[in-house]
Amino acid sequence: MGLRLLVIEGNTRGARDIHKAAFGQMPSESYAAVLSRIDPDTVCDLAFPADPGANLPDKAGLESYDGIVLTGSHLSIYDRTPDILSQIDLMRAVYASRTPAFGSCWGLQIAAVAAAGDVQKNPLGREVGFARRLVPTEAGRAHPMLAGRPDAYDAPAIHLDMVSVPPPDCTVLASNRVSAVQAAEIRHAGGTFWGVQYHPEFSLGELAVILDRRKAILVAEGFCRTESDAAAFVADLATLQEDRQRADLAWRHGIDAEVLDSSRRTREIANFIHHRVKPGKSARGRA
C-alpha cells in the first residue's frame, strides 16, 4: 500500500487562484506533484484551512495519514486574522496526532508559533530568489533531514518574515546571514516537525512565475534596478527550467547543481519521506 499524505495549503483562495492561473497548479498541487515524484505510490489529499468554513480533519483524521506537509503562504502570521488562527489551531492538532510533519517557509513559521515560538518581520529585509550560503549547524550536520547536503548550499526562497524566537524544544539545523533559523526540528505535545524557511519544492519555473508577479517589489527593495532587469532575471530562470545546460545563465546567477538538479534541490523532502514517513508507517503497522 502506498503512502497517504495530507498537504495543507497556507494560502487563501484568492492567492491560490492567482497562482494556478499563472502556473497551472495551486501551490498545494505542485507540492503534491513533488511528493509523488519522490514516491510514485503516494496519494495526496489537500486541505485549505484559510478558507471560511473549511472542513478540516480532527486529531483522529490527522492520525490516519502517514505524513503531513505544509506549504508556504502569502500571509504574515503576526496579523492573527481568523484565516491564520485556524491554521495555528490545525498545526497544534497535527502535533497532538503525532503524525510526521514537514513544512516549507510558512509551514516552519506556523509550526514554530503553534509550539510557543514567535515569528516577526526580518529586520534585514526580504530574502528573495535564493537563500544563499545555507550552513548546517553542528546538529544539522548529523541530522537525517539534511543528509546529503554539502557544508554550504543555496535553495529557492522568498520570505520577509522569519522565526524570531524558536520554540522551547527546537533544534536549529541550518542558518545563513539572513535568518538564524533556516531549518529546524521542533518537538511539541508528543509530535515532531521538520521544516525549512526556504522552498525545496520550488522548481525554477515555479519560482519564475512567483517572481514575475513581484517585479515591482524586486525594484522597490533594490534587488533590481528596473522592471526590465527584473523581467530579464525571471526570463533567465524560465530558460534554465527548460534547458539545464545553459551554463552561462547558471554562472550569471550563481546557480549550481544543488538547485538545478531536482533530486538534490528536494533532498529535505525526500529525506522526510524516507527517514520519517516510511519508518513511521511501518512502526504503526501500516506497511
pLDDT tens digits, 87-127: 999 999 999 999 999 999 999 999 999 999 999 999 999 99
Helices (H), the chain: 13-23, 27-38, 59-63, 82-97, 106-114, 138-141, 204-212, 215-220, 227-242, 247-253, 257-260, 262-265, 267-272, 278-283
Distances in whole angstroms, Cα of residue 84 to Cα of each of 27, 180, 197? 17, 24, 18
- In whole angstroms, give the CA distance from residue 166 to residue 151: 23
44 catalytic? Reply is no
- Is residue 191 within 8 Å of 96, Cβ to Cβ? yes
**Which residue of the set 29, 44, 105, 268 is catalytic?**
105
User: pLDDT tens digits, residue range 169-189?
Assistant: 999 999 999 999 999 999 999
Which architecture, in CATH terms, is 4-201+266-283? 3-Layer(aba) Sandwich (3.40)
Strand partners, 196: 104, 183
* pLDDT score recorded for residue 287: 45
Smallest CA-to-CA distance from 94 within 127, 73, 131, 65 is with 65
- Is residue 42 within 8 Å of 35, Cβ to Cβ? yes
Kindly give the interhelix angle for 13-23 and 204-212, rounded to the nearest 10 degrees.
120
Residues of the chain with pLDDT under 70: 282-287
* pLDDT score recorded for residue 281: 77
- In whole angstroms, give the CA distance from residue 219 to residue 97: 44
* pLDDT score recorded for residue 280: 82
**Which residue of the set 9, 201, 206, 268 is catalytic?**
201
- In whole angstroms, give the CA distance from residue 139 to residue 194: 13
* pLDDT score recorded for residue 211: 98
CB contact set of 187 (below 8 Å; sequence gap of 6+) = 115, 169, 170, 193
* pLDDT score recorded for residue 283: 67
How many CB atoms neighbour CB 256 within 10 A?
Answer: 13
201 catalytic? Reply is yes
Domain extents in the chain: 4-201+266-283, 204-257
**Which residue of the set 19, 143, 159, 199 is catalytic?**
199
* pLDDT score recorded for residue 285: 57
221 catalytic? Reply is no
Smallest CA-to-CA distance from 80 within 72, 88, 69, 91 is with 88
